[in-house]
Amino acid sequence: MDVGKAYDLLVGKLTKWFEEFIKLLPNLVIATIVVVLGFFLAKVVKSFSLKMIRKVSHLETINSLFASFVYILTLGVALFTALDILNLDKAVTTALAGAGILGLALAFAFQDIAANFMSGIFMSFRRPFNVGDLVKLGEYRGRIESVNLRDTTLITLEGQRLLIPNKTVFQNAIENFTSSGIRRMDLKVGVSYGDDLERVKQITLESVKTIPERDTHKEVEFFYEEFGDSSINFALRIWLNSPEQKVYLAARSNAVMAIKTAFDKSDIMIPFPIRTLDFGIKGGEKLSEMKIDLGEKRQVVSEKIANPVAKEQ
């Protein structure tokens, strides 16, 4: 191919492209306007959605994430509309297909992260607890420090920082001690079989009425529960004026001391565990009624003490 033909071919291609560009110029201007307006509209929608989500959620991390998602979604609609105006239908279809395949691949690869992420969003609407609440999550008990997109941070009662995946928190039972503002302390005690049970009940109730942690608006509950091995056991239920763990422990300590002091003054016995030894072959035979002759053995022992070498001789 000589230089002249190559030059003519190149000029022809450029001329054709320029003509196509001139034909596409109006659509290009409109598409550019759509994209610019899309950016401004996306910012307005983001601001509006952030105000709306804050009315139902107090987790700022989740609120910002939701607003950003709405912003990207609005901007994406504007971009795809601009591509459609430019008659780039195939490009739009290819982009959507690629986004779908990529999203599916990412969903399989990061399904645990996605599950924790969605659990965090659901919890922001469900609001089972707030930052600072005293809760029990599974086998862990402590105070909520923070909730982010992947996990929940718990400060245990021993002072350790514990990170629990949001999926685990969302799918299991949550015990919130702070939400109700009150808490009940249960105490189990046993008394001797020889004590008057009605008298025990009255003295016990009087002894715990004055502990400072008790909620005076609720009555102390007393229930006999069972005949134990060496005692009759009862349960004491005391409602407290605060759900705090320190108040709970102080109430238990004060109740134990008050009951012990009242029982000592009233000669009520909290028995030690008792074991009965049965020396009869068939059972039921008392030790005092058994005939045990130790006379012969005492004599043998005395002889050994008096003459320790007698056996060798």
Q: Listing from the earlier edge strand, what are the strands of the sheet with 174-176? A: 161-165, 151-156, 140-147, 134-137, 174-176
In a domain, 3, yes or no: no
Alpha-carbon distance of 120 to 111, in angstroms, equals: 14
User: Which of 265, 280, 307 delimits the end of a domain?
Assistant: 265
Contact 219, 208 (CB under 8 A): no
- Determine the structural domain holding residue 34 and report its residue range: 10-89
Q: Across-strand partners of 297?
A: none
Q: What is the pTM of this model?
A: 0.57
Which alpha helices (DSSP H) does the chain contain, by range?
A: 3-53, 60-85, 89-109, 111-126, 166-171, 197-208, 245-265, 295-306
How many domains are there within the chain?
Answer: 3
Average pLDDT over residues 95-99: 63
Per-residue pLDDT tens over the stretch 109-158 = 567 777 777 787 777 777 788 888 899 988 888 998 887 777 888 999 88
Q: Closest by alpha carbon to 134, among 88, 199, 183?
A: 183
Per-residue pLDDT tens over the stretch 10-21 = 667 767 766 666
Alpha-carbon distance of 149 to 55, in angstroms, equals: 19
In a domain, 230, yes or no: yes
In a domain, 304, yes or no: no
Mark whether 238 and 255 lie in a shared domain: yes
The token duo for 3 is 């230089």
Q: Is the pLDDT of residue 276 over 70?
A: no
The pair phi, psi for residue 219, each rounded to 5°, is -75, 150
